[in-house]
Amino acid sequence: MALKVGIPLYAGFDSLDVCGPYQTFCFAGMEEHLVGPTLSAVTSFEGVAITPNSTFADCPQLDVLFVPGGAMPESVLKGGQLGSNPYLDFLVKQAAGATLVCSVCTGALLLGSAGLLDGHLVTTHWAFKDVLKLFRVDIVPDFRRYVQSGNVVTGAGISSGLDVAMYIVSLLYGVGVARQGQLAMQYNPQPTFHCGDPGDTDIKDDPEMVPKRVELFGVDTTQQAIIAWQTQA
C-alpha cells in the first residue's frame, strides 16, 4: 500500500512550494492528497488555482504532512485560535499520527502556530527567520536547504521544496528511489546567478537587495500579525 502524503492548501500559497514537492512525491509512487476546507479550488499568490482532492474533514490519516509556504501565511491565523481554526486544527490532528511532519518556506510559521515545532531545530525562508523566533524553536544559523529534528523536517525557502521532498523520499523509500526521482526530473541545479540567499557569492554586487527583498515580502507585517495572534491566545 502506498504511503500517503498530504499538502494542505490555503489562499495565497506558493505554487512552487506545492507543485515541486508534489511531483517529487509522485515519482516515488506516493498517494497524494491536496487538502482544502472544501473541494473548491484554492488560488496561489501567483494566481494558480488548484482543486483539492480531499477536505480537512475526510482526509485519511497521512504518513507525511507537508505544509507549504505562501505570500501571507498569517492569513491562516485569521481563522482563529487553536481549537477553532480549521487549518491549524487539521495540522494538529494529522501530526498526531503522521510519521513525518514537514514544511517548506513559511509553512514553518504555520507548524509553529500549531505548536508542532516546539523544542525542534528548524529552518524557513531566510527572510522569515526572525519571525520564526516568535515560537519555541531553535533555528539553524546558516542557509542549509533543510533540517531534520526528530520526525520534523523543515525546508528553507521556496525552491528548497525540491530538496526537502527528495530527502523525505530517501527517508521513506531509500536513497535509490530518491535518486531515480532526481534523474527523472533532471534536477541538477546550475543557477545562472548566485544570489539564492544572503550568503551567496553574488550578493556582494548588490547587498541592498537583501533588505529590499525583506521589505517586498512584507516580513514586518507578517511578524506583527503573528504577535497580535499570539497576544489574543
Count of Cβ atoms closer than 10 Å to residue 214 Cβ: 16
Helix (H) or strand (E) holding 33: strand 31-36
Report d(CA 210, CA 200) in Å as an integer.
11
C-alpha to C-alpha distances, 178 to 15, 26, 60, 119, 147, nearest whole angstrom: 22, 11, 25, 29, 17
C-alpha cell belonging to residue 24: 517529487
In contact, 18 and 68? CB cutoff 8 Å: yes
Based on the residue annotation, tell me whether 105 is a catalytic residue of this protein: yes
Helix (H) or strand (E) holding 218: none
Q: Considering 19, 59, 102, 105, which one is annotated as catalytic?
A: 105
In contact, 41 and 25? CB cutoff 8 Å: no
Report d(CA 202, CA 192) in Å as an integer.
11
- β-pair type (4-8, 138-139): unpaired
- DSSP 8-state secondary structure symbol assigned to residue 62: P
> Within 13 Å and on the Cβ side, how many CA atoms surround 232?
13
C-alpha cell belonging to residue 30: 506516493
CA max distance for the chain: 51
Catalytic residues: 105
